[in-house]
Structure 1
Amino acid sequence: MESLPMENRNLLLKNNEVIPKPERNGQVLNGETSRDPPDGGIRAYMIIVGSFLTNGLVFGVINSYSVIYTVLQKKLEDENIPNSESRAALVGALTMGTTFLLSPLSGVLTGLLGLRCTAVLGGSIAVLGLLLSSFLVDYVDVLCFTYGVMYGLGASLAYTPSLAILGHYFKRYLGLVNGIVTIGSSIFTVIMPPLMEFMIKNYGLHGLFRLLAVITVGVALCGLLFKPISVVVIEKPPREDGFKALVKTIINVQIWKNKKYRLWALSMPVALFGYFVPYVHIKKFIEINFTNVQDNLPLQCIAVTSGMGRLVFGFLADKKWVNRIMLQQISFYVIGGLTIILPFVKTFPLLIVVSLGMGIFDGAFIALIGPIAIQFCGSAYAAQSIGCMLGLAALPLSMGPPIAGLIFSIYQSYTLPFILAGISPLVGATIMFAIHFQK
C-alpha cells in the first residue's frame, strides 16, 4: 500500500521556513526548538503505563454499559414508563457522546492548564459523577446528567491527554505504543462485565457506582504522569499581547487548513453513527434470541480480539509502506459488514465468531486514531486534532443507541437497528477515499 507522509510536525511553518518549533503543554512556542521524542526510557515507559490504565479504566466502564442498561431498562419497564429501551440506552449513549463531544474542550484546556492538570481534573470530575450517581440510581433522568454528562466530561478531559502525551515521548514506535495503550480498554472490558454483574447482584446499582468511583481515582493519579518533555530555548522574538494572541495560542485553527485532516475529521462522524449500538444492545439481543448461554461472552470476545487488533495494527502503523488511512477504511468496512450480519445469526457459536471479527477491526480503528492525527497535524497539535475529530463524532455517536432502542420498541426486533448501525461505517469509509486524492 502506498504510504502517506508520516508526520507533519511543523504545521504552521510557511513553505520556505525550516526551523522546527517546540511543544509545551501541547502547544508550539515561537523562537524555540524541541528535542526529538526519546522513544524509550523509564519516564517514557511510565507514560505508557499511565495512558494504558487511563484508557482501560475509562472505556472499560463505558464499553460495559450493557450490564447497567439491562437493569435500568427493566426498572423503567416495571414502572410502565414508555420507550424504556431508548431512555435506558440514552444514559450510556450520553456517556460516550459527552466523552467525544467535549474532546475539543479538552484540547483547549491543555493549552491553558497543560496535559497533566487537564487529565487530573478529568479524573476528579469522573469520580464525582460516579459518586453522585450512586445516590440517584432510582432517577434515570438524573443519571443522564451524573453518569452521562459528568462522567463523560471527566472521561473526555482524561482520555485526550492520554493519547496526546504519547507524541511527546514516541515517534518511531508511535503506532505500536498506541496499540499497547489502547489495549487497556480491551482488557478492562473483559474484566468489568462480570465484576459489575457481581456488584449489582450483591450490592445493587448504588454499590456498583461507588466501587467504580473508587476505581476511577486511578485515572486522576495516572494523569500526574503526563508531563510533556521540556524544550531548549534558543531565542525569544517579541511577544504578542492581547486577547487575539491568547486565542491563537489556545485554539489552533490552522489544523482545519489541512485538507487531509479536514476530510478525515468530517468522515469519522458518519462512520461512528452506529459504532456504539452493538455495545449497548448486544446483551438484550442475546436475551431475546438465545437461552441458556453466557450473555456477557460476546462482549468479552469483542474486547479480547480488539486488544489483539490494537497491537497488530499499531505495529503495522509504524511501517513506512503502510497507508494508515487505508487500514482504517478496511476496519470500518469489516465492522459495518459484521454489524449488518449480526441480527441474522441464529446460533450462539456463530455469534461468537462474528464478535471475534468485530473486535479485531474495532482494535484497528481505535489504535490508528492517534497516529493518523499526529501524521496530519504533528504531535504539538495532537490534543486539538484528536479532540476536534472526536467532538464532531459525538452527536451521531450519542444518537445511535437511543435511535436503535426506539426502532426496537416499534418493531420488537433488532434486525433494522443493526442493519442501519452497520451501514454508517460503510458510508464513512467510502468518504475517506477522498483523502487519497489530496496532495
Structure 2
Amino acid sequence: MLISSFFPWFVVLASFTVRVIVYGITYTSGIVYVIILKNFQTGKAETSWISSIITTVMFATGPPSGRLVKALGWRAVAVIGGIIAGTGLLLTSLTSNLLFLILSYGFVTGFGCGMAYMVACVAVPAYFRGHRRQKMAVAMASCGSGVGTFIFSPIVQYVYVTYGWQNLFIVLAGVGVQCSSVGLLFRPLSTTSTTDSEKVAEKIANWGFLKNVGFHSSHLGFFLTAFGDSIVYGHLGEYAETLGFTTDKGAYLYSVIGISVMILKLLQGVALDSRGSTVLPIKLAIFFFFLGGVATVILFVSNEYILLLIFATIFGANTAASGGAVVVGILETYYGYEHLELTFGVNLAVIGIGNLLGSPIAGLLFEAYETYTPVLILFCVTK
C-alpha cells in the first residue's frame, strides 16, 4: 500500500511495544525458573516445563491466531490477547502449586501473549506493503523482542528480591494487560470485496505452501534453532550459578542476549532494504544459523564470565533471525504476502514445538547425570 500518512509508524510503535511486553514476560522465564526452584523446592526436570511451555504456547498460538485475525481483525485479537495474558499472570500469583502454575503461567499467559504477538508480527508488513522501507519498519518493530528481554531481566530480578515472587506476578499481570491498550492502535486496513470463487481459490492457495519441500526443509532449521534456544533461555541462569556466578550475573546474561537481538534485527532491516535481491533473506538466515554453531563452541568452553558474555552476544545474534525481517522476507518472497498470516503462523508453531522439547529434555539430562555436560552436548548438536 502507499503510505499517505504518518499513522503506519504508530503501528510500528504499537508492534514494538507489544513485543517488548510479550518477550519481557515469556523470555525471562529462565529467571522465573530459578525463582520457582528456590521457592517451590521442586526438581529441575519438572520445573523446566515452566520456561518451555510458555514460549511453546506463545508460538503455537500462531495458526489459530492467524485465523482469528482474518475473522475478527487485528485490534480485537490484540485486545483479547492482552486480557488473557494479564489474567493468566494474576492467577499465577495466587498459587503455590507447580501444576496450577504451569497451567496459568504456561498455558493461559502463553496463549494470550501469542495472540497479541501474532498481530504485532503481521500488521506492520501489511501497513507497509509496497513501501521501500517495509523491511526496515519490520526490523524496527521486531527490535521490541530484544528490548523486552534486555530491560525485563533486571526488572524481574529486582521486583522478586524486593517484593517476593507473588508480587512479581501481580506486577507482570499489570504490564501484560497493557497489550490490550496498545492493541487499540492496530486499526484495520480497508479491504476490497471478493467473489465467492476468489475466496475459494484463496483458501486452496493458502494451504498450498504445506506441499512445498523447501518450506519443510527451511523450517527444520528453525525447529532445531528453537530447540537449542529453549535450552539456553531455560537453563543459562542456572548454569551460570553452577559455575559459581551470582544470580544477578546469571540474569544479566539475558540482558546481553536482548541487546544483541535488538542490534542484529535493526541490521537485518538495513541489509534487506538496501538490496533488492530476493535471495538475500534466505542467505541471511543461513548466516544466522552459522552464528548459532559458533555460539555452541564458545559455551562449551565457557568457564569464565567473560566467555559467557561473548556467548550471550553471539547467541543473541543467532536468535535475531526468529520473528524478524528475515523470516517475513522469506515467507513473502517464496509463499506470497497474501498468505502471510498462515505461513507466519505455521512458522511460529514450528518454533513452538522446538521450544517445548528443548528445556525439559535438558532438565532430565541434568538430573540423570548431575552435570550440565550432556546438556551442552545436546545444545551443540541442535545448533
TM-score by length of 2: 0.91
Q: Which residue of 1 aligns with 2:69?
A: 110
Secondary structure at the counterpart of residue 421 of structure 1: helix
Q: Which amino acid aligns with 1:187?
A: V
Q: 2:262 aligns with which of 269, 288, 307?
A: 307
1: CA distance between counterparts of 2:352 and 2:322? Answer: 16
2: CA distance between counterparts of 1:142 and 1:76? Answer: 12
Residue deviations 1:36-68 (CA, integer Å, cap 9, x gap):
242x73211010000000111001111111221
What runs of 5+ residues in structure 1 fail to find an aligned partner?
Answer: 1-35, 426-439
Secondary structure at the counterpart of residue 295 of structure 1: helix
Alignment RMSD: 2.3
1:199 aligns with 2:199: no
Secondary structure at the counterpart of residue 294 of structure 1: helix
Q: Which residue of 1 aligns with 2:349?
A: 391
Residue deviations 1:156-196 (CA, integer Å, cap 9, x gap):
11111111111212142222222211111211212112211
Q: 1:266 to 1:354 in 2, by over 3 A?
A: closer
Q: Counterparts in 2 of 1:361-380, with a 5 A limit?
A: 361-367=318-324, 368-380=326-338
Q: 1:346 aligns with which of 298, 303, 311?
A: 303
Q: Which residue of 2 aligns with 1:401?
A: 359
TM-aligned CA deviation for residue 365 of structure 1: 4.0
What runs of 5+ residues in structure 2 fail to find an aligned partner?
Answer: none
2: CA distance between counterparts of 1:413 and 1:92? Answer: 20
1: CA distance between counterparts of 2:18 and 2:350? Answer: 22
Contact 2:30-2:237 at 8 Å conserved across structures: yes
Q: 2:25 aligns with which of 56, 61, 65?
A: 61
Q: Which residue of 1 aligns with 2:38?
A: 74
Q: Which residue of 1 aligns with 2:53?
A: 94
1:285 aligns with 2:265: no
Secondary structure at the counterpart of residue 272 of structure 1: helix
Q: 1:217 to 1:405 in 2, by over 3 A?
A: same
Q: Which residue of 2 aligns with 1:144?
A: 102
Residue deviations 1:371-418 (CA, integer Å, cap 9, x gap):
222222333221111101211332222110011011111222222212
Q: 2:181 aligns with which of 196, 208, 221?
A: 221
Q: 1:286 to 1:267 in 2, by over 3 A?
A: closer
Q: 1:178 aligns with which of 127, 132, 138?
A: 138
Residue deviations 1:259-285 (CA, integer Å, cap 9, x gap):
543433344223322112111111111
TM-aligned CA deviation for residue 353 of structure 1: 1.5
Q: Which amino acid aligns with 2:79?
A: V
Secondary structure at the counterpart of residue 58 of structure 1: helix
2: CA distance between counterparts of 1:173 and 1:423? Answer: 37
1: CA distance between counterparts of 2:293 and 2:187? Answer: 38
Q: 1:57 to 1:286 in 2, by over 3 A?
A: same
Which has the larger Rg?
Answer: 1
1: CA distance between counterparts of 2:201 and 2:58? Answer: 23
Aligned residues, how many?
A: 377
Q: 2:339 aligns with which of 381, 385, 404?
A: 381
Secondary structure at the counterpart of residue 249 of structure 2: coil
TM-aligned CA deviation for residue 97 of structure 1: 0.5
Q: 1:273 aligns with which of 221, 227, 245?
A: 227
Residue deviations 1:82-126 (CA, integer Å, cap 9, x gap):
xx1111110111000011112111111112112221121111111
Residue deviations 1:215-271 (CA, integer Å, cap 9, x gap):
1122112222223322456xx64x369xxx789759932332445434333442233
2: CA distance between counterparts of 1:65 and 1:259? Answer: 34
Q: 1:213 to 1:355 in 2, by over 3 A?
A: same
Q: 1:388 to 1:290 in 2, by over 3 A?
A: same
Percent same amino acid at aligned positions? 25
Secondary structure at the counterpart of residue 83 of structure 2: helix
1: CA distance between counterparts of 2:2 and 2:46? Answer: 46
Q: 1:129 aligns with which of 84, 88, 99?
A: 88
2: CA distance between counterparts of 1:247 and 1:94? Answer: 36
2: CA distance between counterparts of 1:278 and 1:178? Answer: 26
1: CA distance between counterparts of 2:364 and 2:161? Answer: 28
2: CA distance between counterparts of 1:355 and 1:152? Answer: 24
2: CA distance between counterparts of 1:284 and 1:266? Answer: 28
Give the stretch that moved more between structures: 335-344 or 402-411. Answer: 335-344
2: CA distance between counterparts of 1:340 and 1:145? Answer: 36
1:355 aligns with 2:312: yes
Q: Which amino acid aligns with 1:185?
A: S
Q: 1:142 to 1:336 in 2, by over 3 A?
A: farther
Q: 1:119 to 1:411 in 2, by over 3 A?
A: same
Q: 2:276 aligns with which of 302, 320, 329?
A: 320
| The structure with more helix, counted as a fraction of residues | 2
Q: 1:298 aligns with which of 253, 256, 265?
A: 253
